[in-house]
Every structure is written in structure tokens, then in C-alpha cells.
Structure 1
Amino acid sequence: MRFFECEYQGGRHVGFDPPADTAVVHPIDGGVLDLLSTVDSLGDLRAAAGAGRTVPTAELSPLPPLRPASVGDLFVSGYAQTHHGKAGVETPDQPTWFFRGLGDVVKLPGDALTVPTSVLGLGEEAEVVLVYLTGTDGKTRYVGFTFGNDLTDIGKFVADRGHLGYAKLTDCSVSPWLFSGPPPATVNGEVAIERGGQPAWKGSFTTGTAALRFDLDTMIDHLLSYPALRHPGRVHYVFLGADRGSFQDGFRIADGDQVTIDVTSHDVQLSNTIVWATQS
């Protein structure tokens, strides 16, 4: 099942089916996080949401999945060098983890992604994103998954592997769709980059849990064993790492490029323009 949240006529609503020209949305006065506290899974949300109504899709403003009212309650992090395709890298007991930022670094398809002017070599990273919610009891539970572009200054990481944290200090994008069910074993798709309105690079990717060099349950159990991450009400986006992409193919993303990730296996598209930050 797919789930999405949006703003409509000043209030928050949820929907459960891919919208075309119209969509059926359900008002949720207390917010979807309050609603989730009353059910066991996304699959139970449709009944809990109550009656819906059909509205023009163009009047809806999509939101990132489960985004809290405060950006400080959305914690965005992930893993590096997790995929079998990243050859020549020793496999430690746990993959390298990074903190990307809070909710304000998360953008949606169609938004611009801002990066520092100091980037050494920018690359897209098409990834599965797991979404977790910590309850009032301090227990963090898995809610569902989506897809994102974990945009990264890979050149900075290659120059000094101790600088992974700096390499991740850019905006990222996620799909507004949240999928129920376990994380997908296999995901495939294609990335297309345009420059000046013309095709500049294209390549395919494969990701999902089957592509990982690590056991996912062990990764997540270890991460969420730290009490500092289990603040009640906190939502976690966890990026699971990427297949090889344009950077490994020798291409470098530039200011103004349009990066489109087509997750063909799950009918999800993310397209964003890359913008170099201006410093005062």
C-alpha cells in the first residue's frame, strides 16, 4: 500500500492511492503522527482516517512522509559503502553511519537541492529510505519505506574518508510516497541528468536489501540501541546506501543540472535541480 500526506485548504490530509487528476484525501486534525499512535501499521490507517473526499490533485501540497510539525523532530541519517557493488572496500562489522541534518534538509520532487560552493565532486545517490517513529515510551518502530536522492559530495569523501560527514551536508530529496511492508529486497531504475536542457548522463541502478553487504536488522538494531536517538516523537529517515552512479562513471554534477531518478520497479520519480549555495 502507498500512503501520502498533504496540505489542503490549510489542513493536513492523507491519501492512499496514486492520484491522477483527482485524489481521495482524508482530513487528520491531529496530524498523522497522532493517528499512527492509535494503530499498529500503515495498513490500519485507511480505516482509522475516516471518510474522505475527492479533490483536484493540483490543489494538494505534498509533504515529506510523516514530517513532524517541528523540523527538529525529523532526524535524517544514513549509511555509506553498504552495497556489494562498491568494490575494493573492506567490510567492517558495521557500515559507516552519518548524520545529514534535520527536517529542513529534506526536499520533495520539483524542489531545488542546494549544495555548498566548496563541493569537490557531486554525485546523486538513488536509495531506499526507511522511516521510523519513536513513541512516547521511547521505543522506535519501523513504519515503512520510501525512496530518495542522497546527494553527496563524493569527491570530498574520496579525498579524505574521514570527511564523510562534510560530504553529506547538502540538501536531499525524498518521494512523498510512503510504502507499507518490509524494506524491498530488489529495487531498480534509471538516473538521467540534463544540463542546459540537454541530456548529459544516463545510467541504471540496483539497490534494495539484497544488494547490501550487511545484515539490515543488525545495522538498525545497532543504530537504535543508542538512547540519544530515541527521543519520544522523533521521526527518523535512514538512507541505506547507493549503487554506483554518475560520479563513479566519471561525470560531475554542476550548478543548474537537473537530476531525475526513476525508480521503475516501484513507479516513483524524483526530479530536482541542483543549485550552488551563495554565501554572503
Structure 2
Amino acid sequence: MSLRLLQHRAPDGTRSVVFADGASAHVLDGVAGVRDLAQRAIAGGITLAAAARACARGSDIDLAQELAEGRFLPPIDHEDPAHLIMTGTGLTHLGSAEGRDKMHRDAAAAAHQTDSMRMFLEGLEGGKPAPGAVGQQPEWFYKGDGSQLVGPGEALTMPAFAKDGGEEPELAGIYLIGTDGTPFRLGFALANEFSDHVTERHNYLWLAHSKLRQASLGPELLIDEAPSDVRGTSRIVRNGEVLWEKPFLSGEDNMSHALANLEHHHFKYGLFRRPGDIHVHFFGTATLSFADGVSTQVGDTFEIEAAPFTLPLRNSLARAAGDDAPVAVKVL
């Protein structure tokens, strides 16, 4: 059965960590956050699962009920949001080039291969090198820091100037950098890597702009395993009815890159190995409602669910107040 960690906040604001093993779940006494538990595990030279099992058992938790009451936080955070870094890689999944190529095809002649397709094919050829070898580097992007991380059940808010707010159902790897600069993978979370696909489609060089958005993680951190074949469903609900729904695949079996290759090409940069930092890295998707012609609206709800996670990730769509007036910079 899958082992998961969840971060819980009681009505009085008290934080705790919940340890779930299959269908059963209980509070870990004396642990306020997953980062704290991970630091214990690193210091003790044990796994995160072993550190959780070593904690005193607290009260049992009904996961579905607590989710419905909005008690779960994102499964990882940092007391200083600037030390939580959100990044991602794209064109990493088998079939992921199709939707992206549709978005960019108008910019190139039919006989000309788009940059997206070239990058995808390079990953397909060299993204899964032999163990110990370095493979083809993937597309990479920066999303923001911990201030942009949205919890399960909360709204994903696009900026006032955004052209679109679209879902991206995928897995995110969660990492803590040890005191000696070693990256430790804590586990995986279900994720919505929220993006502005209209902005991206206008010009591929605007990809960086399209990715500077909020993102959300499901409540569960899957530990002690790397899921190789994830099969889930992504849907959009509008006015209580399903507007769009489609299955999605993830996990290494369905990817053109090995996880180890994606991790290497992120953590090869020394600035991403700063002790104590948390990294949330989104591994990409091949399934987008935008590629099927869907235009989202404020008030829509994104729903993502996939085994071995037992709880869904739901977020409504909102738009920030404001206008598109220029930001004034004062000269000192």
C-alpha cells in the first residue's frame, strides 16, 4: 500500500503531519511539518518512511472528511517562502509534443519542424541514458517561489493581465537540500502546473512569461516509491457540470526522459543546491484542455485525480484585481 505524508492545520491553527498507510491515517505526535521530519531523517541517516514510523502515534484522521473541511495544506512548504523554489520541465512525456506542436505550428511552414518537435525528438532519443550517464537536457522553466504555491481547495488566481488560466495535470518531485548540498528527494505530489497557454501560443519565446503563475499541489506526498505508471483523470467543471474530461498518463514508463536525467539537469546548477532549500519540480504533462480548444472561465473548477494518490486535487479559477497599467519605477 502507498505511504503518504500530509500537512494538516487544525481550526485553531495548530499544524501537524499526518502519516497515511493505505486507507489508514494518523497524526505524528511532535511533528509540525514535513520539512522538519525530513531533516530528522537526513540527520539520522534513515528514510522518510522510517522517520515517520519512529514517531509516536497520535489521533486517527479521516482523510476525506478533513479534505472536505479544508484542513490540508500543501504537502511541503518553507517558513521563508523565498527558500522554496518552483521549477519545471516540459516536452517530457510520450505524446507531449502533439499539443505543443499544435500551438506553434502556425508559426512555421508545414515542412518545417518546430523547435518544440525538435526538442521532443531529442529527448525521445537521448532522455533515458544508461545508468550513470548524462542524457539530453530538457526544456526547463522557472515558476516562482513559495509565495506562488497554492494549497488543495484554494483558488488558482491568474494575474489581471493574463490572457488565459489553464490547467496542467502532472507529477511534481519534492526535494530538500541537505547541509552538505546533497539534494534529497522526499517524494512526489499530484500537481496542477497552472499556465497561460494563450500567451505561450502567441510566441514560444514567451514561454517564460506564461509559466510565471501560481501552481497547486495535492494534499498527499507519496513517499518510499517512485510511481512508474500513473494513470489519472483531468477535468474542468463549470456550473456544476463537467465541461471537459480526459485521461492523463505520467510516471517514467510514460515519459521520454528518465527522472534521474531530469533531476540531474536541474540540480547540476550549484545555485539549486543551497542547504535548507525546498524544491518543487514539475515533470510535465501530455494532456491540456487548451489543446482541445477549451477556453477556461473564472469560476471553473479544475479537478485532477490519479492512483496511487487517494485524494483529488481541486482548485477553482480566479483572476486578480487590477488593470494593465504600466508599473511605475521610482528613481532614487
- TM norm structure 1: 0.90
The answer for the alignment partner of 1:207 in structure 2 is 250
1:11 pairs with 2:22: no
AA at the equivalent of 2:37:
L
- CA deviation profile, 1:6-25 (whole Å, cap 9, x unmatched): 233443322112798x9521
The answer for the alignment partner of 1:42 in structure 2 is 48
1:146 pairs with 2:189: yes
Give, in angstroms, the shift of residue 184 of structure 1: 1.4
The answer for the alignment partner of 2:108 in structure 1 is none
- CA deviation profile, 1:21-77 (whole Å, cap 9, x unmatched): x95212335644233223222211223322312467648832212311111121111
Percent pairwise identity? 30
Task: Say which SS state the counterpart of residue 80 (structure 1) adopts.
Answer: coil
Matches within 5 A, 1:31-180: 31-39=33-41, 40-54=46-60, 58=66, 61-85=71-95, 86-87=97-98, 89-91=117-119, 92=122, 93-180=136-223
How many angstroms apart in 2 are the aligned matches of 1:210 and 1:204? Answer: 16
How many angstroms apart in 2 are the aligned matches of 1:146 and 1:17? Answer: 14
For the Cα contact (< 8 Å) 1:5–1:62, is it kept in 2? yes
The answer for the alignment partner of 2:329 in structure 1 is none
For the Cα contact (< 8 Å) 2:74–2:152, is it kept in 1? no
Shift of the 141–188 alpha-carbon distance from structure 1 to 2, 3 Å rule, reads: same
Give, in angstroms, the shift of residue 107 of structure 1: 1.3
The answer for the alignment partner of 2:26 in structure 1 is 24
Task: Say which SS state the counterpart of residue 243 (structure 1) adopts.
Answer: coil
AA at the equivalent of 1:262:
E
Q: Provide the aligned C-alpha RMSD in A.
A: 2.3
Shift of the 203–134 alpha-carbon distance from structure 1 to 2, 3 Å rule, reads: same
AA at the equivalent of 1:3:
L
For the Cα contact (< 8 Å) 1:263–1:269, is it kept in 2? yes
* Residue-pair matches, total: 279
For the Cα contact (< 8 Å) 1:35–1:48, is it kept in 2? no
Richer in strand (by share): 1
Question: Unaligned 5+ residue runs, structure 2?
Answer: 102-116, 123-135, 324-332
After the TM superposition, which of the residue ranges 39-48 and 216-225 deviates more from structure 2?
39-48
1:268 pairs with 2:274: no
The answer for the alignment partner of 2:113 in structure 1 is none
After the TM superposition, which of the residue ranges 176-185 and 95-104 deviates more from structure 2?
176-185
How many angstroms apart in 1 are the aligned matches of 2:31 and 2:188? Answer: 24
How many angstroms apart in 1 are the aligned matches of 2:221 and 2:161? Answer: 33
The answer for the alignment partner of 2:230 in structure 1 is 187
> Which ranges of 4 or more aligned residues in structure 1 deviate by more than 6 Å?
none
For the Cα contact (< 8 Å) 1:121–1:253, is it kept in 2? yes
How many angstroms apart in 1 are the aligned matches of 2:227 and 2:37? Answer: 25
Shift of the 127–136 alpha-carbon distance from structure 1 to 2, 3 Å rule, reads: same
AA at the equivalent of 2:57:
A
- CA deviation profile, 1:237-274 (whole Å, cap 9, x unmatched): 11000112211111111111111112245333111110
- CA deviation profile, 1:213-234 (whole Å, cap 9, x unmatched): 2232122112101111111111
How many angstroms apart in 2 are the aligned matches of 1:139 and 1:256? Answer: 42
For the Cα contact (< 8 Å) 2:236–2:244, is it kept in 1? yes
After the TM superposition, which of the residue ranges 172-181 and 258-267 deviates more from structure 2?
258-267
After the TM superposition, which of the residue ranges 242-251 and 6-15 deviates more from structure 2?
6-15
Richer in helix (by share): 2
- CA deviation profile, 1:51-109 (whole Å, cap 9, x unmatched): 31246764883221231111112111101121221235113432111111111211122
For the Cα contact (< 8 Å) 1:7–1:63, is it kept in 2? yes
- TM norm structure 2: 0.77
Give, in angstroms, the shift of residue 126 of structure 1: 0.6
After the TM superposition, which of the residue ranges 26-35 and 68-77 deviates more from structure 2?
26-35
How many angstroms apart in 2 are the aligned matches of 1:232 and 1:186? Answer: 32
- CA deviation profile, 1:136-192 (whole Å, cap 9, x unmatched): 212111111111011111221122111111111222111121111343111111122
Shift of the 113–248 alpha-carbon distance from structure 1 to 2, 3 Å rule, reads: same
How many angstroms apart in 2 are the aligned matches of 1:129 and 1:37? Answer: 20
